[in-house]
Structure formats: C-alpha cells, structure tokens
Amino acid sequence: MVSAVFSGPKRAQKRVLPGFHLTLGYTLFYLGLIVLLPLSALLFKTFTLTWDQFVAAVASERVLASYRLTFGASFLAALVNAVFGLLVAWVLVRYRFPGKKIVDALVDLPFALPTAVAGISLTALLASNGWIGGLLEPHGIQLAFNPNGVVIALIFIGLPFVVRTVQPVLEDAEKELEEAATSLGATRWQTFRHVIFPTIAPALLTGFAMAFARGMGEYGSVIFIAGNMPMVSEITPLIIIGKLEQYDYAGATAVATVMLFFSFVMLLVINALQSWQRKRSGMPT
C-alpha cells in the first residue's frame, strides 16, 4: 500500500526512435493513397452491377475456364518450383563449383527481365520452329500455344521466389544436428527427412505460396506463349483485358474483384506461413 502511494504515476513507455505517431500516420496515408484508393474505385465500379449481373460476369463458362487454367497452372508451376527450387537452393548453399556466382545471379534473372521479353523468348524456343519445339514437334509434343506453355512460363517467373526463400534458411541451418544424426547411424535420406526438412518446411511452404500468388496475376510472360484460345488456353487477366477493350468496365472490375479476393487470401496465407517460420526459428514476431 505504502509503496503504491510513493511510487507515483507510471512513466510513459519511451521508444528508442521518436516520431512513431507521425510516421504511422504518414504510412497509413501513403498506403491509402497508393493502394486503398485504387482498390476502392475497383469495388465501387463493381457495385454498379446487380447481383445477377455480377454472377453472369464472373461465372460464365468462358470465365470459369480461365479460372481453372489460371489457378491450375499456377498451382502446378508452384509445385514444380517447390521441388526444383529446393534443389537449386541446396546446390547453391552446400556445394562449391566454378561459376557458382553466375548461377546464383541467373536465379534472379526473372526478377529483372521484363515479362514480355520472357514470354517472347520462351515462345521463340518452344514454338514448332524454335530450337526446342522443333525437336519435340515431330514426336507429337507441343509446348507452346496451349496450357503447357502457360505452366512453363509460370515456372520460369516463379522459381526465384522459392530459391530466395529457402536459401537463407539452409545457410542458417545447424550442421551439427546433421553430423549428430550421421554419427548415430542415420542414412542421408533419414537425415534429410527428420532433421533438415522440418527446418526448411515453413520456408518452402512460403516460397510455394509466393510462387502460386505470383502466377495467379501473371500476364506478360504468358500472353505470348499461351495461344489465347477461349475455353482452352485463355488466362483470367486476358479475360479482364478483353472486357476492357469491349468497354465492359463493370464486367472487367467484377472479374478483377474475384482475382483480388483470391490474391488477398494468398497474402494472408503467406503472412501466416512467415509468422510460423519466425516462431520455429525463435525470431520475434
């Protein structure tokens, strides 16, 4: 009681860096101006449609076919990148070889390369008159101007997300645990399965989700190699562009709103996975 009386009022918590409220206000204003304002315009334009018009715009057979291709190809490409991205990250971290720096730089090439250039390059390689497509065409294998081309393009642009997410986790992994498992008689597969993989699993899932989210909204690298045939190789972003060219702005924003919803869900999943990764590594959330 006495100590409570003479202790006086609690001191306000002091922050190391001043100006928190000012920087927070600036951050919210900037995000509202750059992100929330355009998205709100998208939603307001969609609200001009009645419910039946909205359903007709986002659930027609052609649009549903584009959903299946966009989400299916993105999932398949992200799954392939999860496997081979892990292998690339493993080689870059665990081995030394001539030209390693060049290979490491090439991983980031899809980040720096314009997506249209990537699409044109892949088309030139995989078309029937290309270097690779010309060899496969006589055997009945077509990689361009069909859904196969969409998957290949999404694999190309999604690989860096997996590699750059898994690579730092592999670098920080405790090799002493691997040595202890080996000394106890564990095989390489057992060591990877029970020691290494549980450590990198959150990062691998994060990279998978990021590659999947990136593939959902990809346009430039896909448009040249897909063939853009309705009901076959037409992606959802192309549906939106087509509606805009037909001056169907409300229909375009309706389909864009559906893609916005799934993109937001993917961002929530990515943030949850990253939080899980930080908790497993002992980092503050």
| Residue 2 clears pLDDT 50, i.e. is over it | no
Query: Residue 6: pLDDT band by 50, 70, 90 thresholds?
Result: very low
| Predicted pLDDT at 188 | 79
Q: How many CB atoms lie within 10 A of CB 8?
A: 7
Instruction: For residue 152, give the DSSP letter.
Output: H
Asked if 244 and 252 touch (Cβ cutoff 8 Å), the reply is yes
Two structure tokens written together for 202? 């959150």
Per-residue pLDDT, averaged over 5-28, amounts to 63
The answer to whether the Cα torsion of 130, 132, 133, 134 is positive or negative is: positive
| Residue 176 clears pLDDT 80, i.e. is over it | no
Mean pLDDT lowest for which of 4-18, 170-184, 237-251?
4-18
Token pair 């292998």 is found at 87
| Residue 88 clears pLDDT 80, i.e. is over it | yes
Token pair 């375009």 is found at 252
Asked if 240 and 252 touch (Cβ cutoff 8 Å), the reply is yes
Using CB atoms within 10 Å of the CB of residue 277, give its burial: 0 to 12 exposed, 13 to 18 middle, 19+ buried.
Answer: buried
Mean pLDDT lowest for which of 10-14, 116-120, 233-237, 240-244?
10-14
Spatial separation of the C-alpha atoms in residues 225 and 30, rounded to whole Å: 37
Spatial separation of the C-alpha atoms in residues 114 and 118, rounded to whole Å: 6
* Position with higher pLDDT, 92 vs 279: 92
Give the model confidence (pLDDT) of 194-204 as tens digits: 888 888 888 89
Token pair 């593939």 is found at 215
Q: State the pTM of this model.
A: 0.82
Give the model confidence (pLDDT) of 18-36 as tens digits: 667 778 888 888 888 888 8
Per-residue pLDDT, averaged over 228-242, amounts to 91
| Residue 140 clears pLDDT 50, i.e. is over it | yes
Two structure tokens written together for 118? 């990537």
Query: Residue 14: pLDDT band by 50, 70, 90 thresholds?
Result: low
Spatial separation of the C-alpha atoms in residues 208 and 70, rounded to whole Å: 16
Spatial separation of the C-alpha atoms in residues 10 and 99, rounded to whole Å: 61
- Phi-psi map region of 28: left, alpha, beta (phi>0 left; psi -120 to 50 alpha): alpha
Helix (H, G, I), strand (E, B) or coil at 46: helix
Containing H/E element for 128? none
Mean pLDDT lowest for which of 31-35, 151-155, 178-182, 220-224?
178-182
Per-residue pLDDT, averaged over 162-174, amounts to 89
| Predicted pLDDT at 173 | 76
Spatial separation of the C-alpha atoms in residues 90 and 163, rounded to whole Å: 9
Per-residue pLDDT, averaged over 145-151, amounts to 92
Two structure tokens written together for 182? 């080996």
The percentage of the chain sitting over the pLDDT mark of 90, rounded to a whole number, equals 40
